Amino acid sequence: MSQDAVKQMKQAVAKAAADRVQSGMVVGLGTGSTTAFVIEFLGDRLRNGELSNIRGVPTSFQASVLAKQYGIPLVTLDDVTKIDVAIDGADEVDPAKNLIKGGGAAHTREKIVDSLADQFLVVVDSSKLVERLGSTFPVPVEVLPLALSPVSRALTALGGKPELRMGVKKDGPVITDQGNFVLDVTFAEIADAAALEKTINNIPGVLENGLFVNVADVVLVGELVEGQPRV
Ligand code: 5RP
């Protein structure tokens, strides 16, 4: 599938999600290229007067920069007692709406914000749909730098193949917004995603992993039908 086709699907699903936001809502703002379009469309709706008085809770530095750029007022989890809706992307979605997230190394904050929301709306293009989690994407695990070696060994003992995520220039590891590393862990098969999510988080030194089991409420899928984007 061409990059342009994927972009069209992402824009279509982002617009559908942004259109669901109503005035006065507190909105969790996800991270990634699809949610970047959501933030842009929310900014458009604020500017043209369709929407007013929304506040965003960003899931990353990237989301907060974009929100400021598009005029969305930001609040923190200390400022609000509820999040009406969180809109976030995913790297894989299975038929039970379980996810792998963290392609943008933001899954720790994403899991906090997305799981607090009254409604967690996932926005993906159709290439993200899988029958089984882990079939196309490894499980990202955020790790305290000092615990990199023991955590890597523990993940290997669980049957995974951990790989330290490197930056695009390959001259150093990716550093998360919290100042940590990310291990991308490939498993031959994930038989029980719920159990694996808990087991990984129980390893001392692990902050959070990218398995999101029973967190998503609604999944919106952008697809191309006869060359036309639709949701
Ligand atoms: C960031 C994420 C993203 O939501 C996920 O990687 C999908 O990104 P994109 O919309 O760019 O495909 O989990 O940590």
Which uninterrupted H or E stretch holds 3?
Answer: helix 3-19
Compute the distance from residue 104 Cα to the ligand 1 centre, in Å: 5
If one compares 5 and 16, the residue with the highest pLDDT of the two is 16
pLDDT in tens, 64-119: 999 999 999 999 999 999 999 999 999 999 999 999 999 999 999 999 999 999 99
The answer for residues whose C-beta is within 8 angstroms of residue 50's C-beta and 6 or more apart is none
Query: Looking at ligand 1, which atom is closest to the CA of residue 128?
Result: 12
- Whether 1 has a pLDDT exceeding 80, the answer reads no
Measured from the Cα of 140, ligand 1's closest atom is 14
Among the residues of the chain, which ranges form H helices?
A: 3-19, 33-47, 61-69, 107-116, 148-157, 193-201
Strands, sheet with 92-93, edge to edge from the N-terminal-most edge strand:
92-93, 99-100, 211-212
Q: Which two tokens stand for residue 117?
A: 């929301």
Token pair in block for residue 204: 């001392």
Query: ipTM of the assembly?
Result: 0.99
Nearest-CA neighbor of 182 among 196, 169, 163?
A: 163
Share of the chain above pLDDT 90, in %: 93
Average pLDDT over residues 36-58: 98
Side chain identity at residue 13, one-letter code: V
Between the CA of 146 and the centroid of ligand 1 the distance, in Å, is 26
Predicted pLDDT at 117? 98
Give the atom of ligand 1 at the shortest distance from the alpha carbon of 106. 14
Of all residues in the chain, the percent with pLDDT exceeding 70 is 100
Any idea which residue has 């499980």 for tokens?
139
Pocket test for ligand 1, best of 3, 9, 35 (most atoms within 8 A of CB): 35
**Ligand 1 center to residue 56 CA distance, Å?**
18
Residue 212 pLDDT > 90, yes or no? Answer: yes
- Give yes or no for residue 5 having a pLDDT over 90: no
Catalytic residues: 110
Ligand 1 centroid to 129 CA: how many Å? 13
What confidence score (pLDDT) does residue 73 get? 98
State yes or no: pLDDT of 40 exceeds 80: yes
pLDDT at residue 169, rounded to an integer: 86
Under the banding of pLDDT at 50, 70 and 90, the label for residue 228 is: confident
Residues 177-201 have a mean pLDDT of 98
pLDDT at 227 exceeding the cut of 90: no
> For residue 132, what are the contacts with CB-CB under 8 A and spacing of at least 6?
94, 189, 190
Among 33, 113, 120, 141, the mutation site with the greatest number of ligand 1 atoms within 8 A of its Cβ is: 33
Distance (Å) of CA 4 to CA 37, 214, 229: 14, 32, 11
- Please tell me the pTM assigned to this model: 0.95
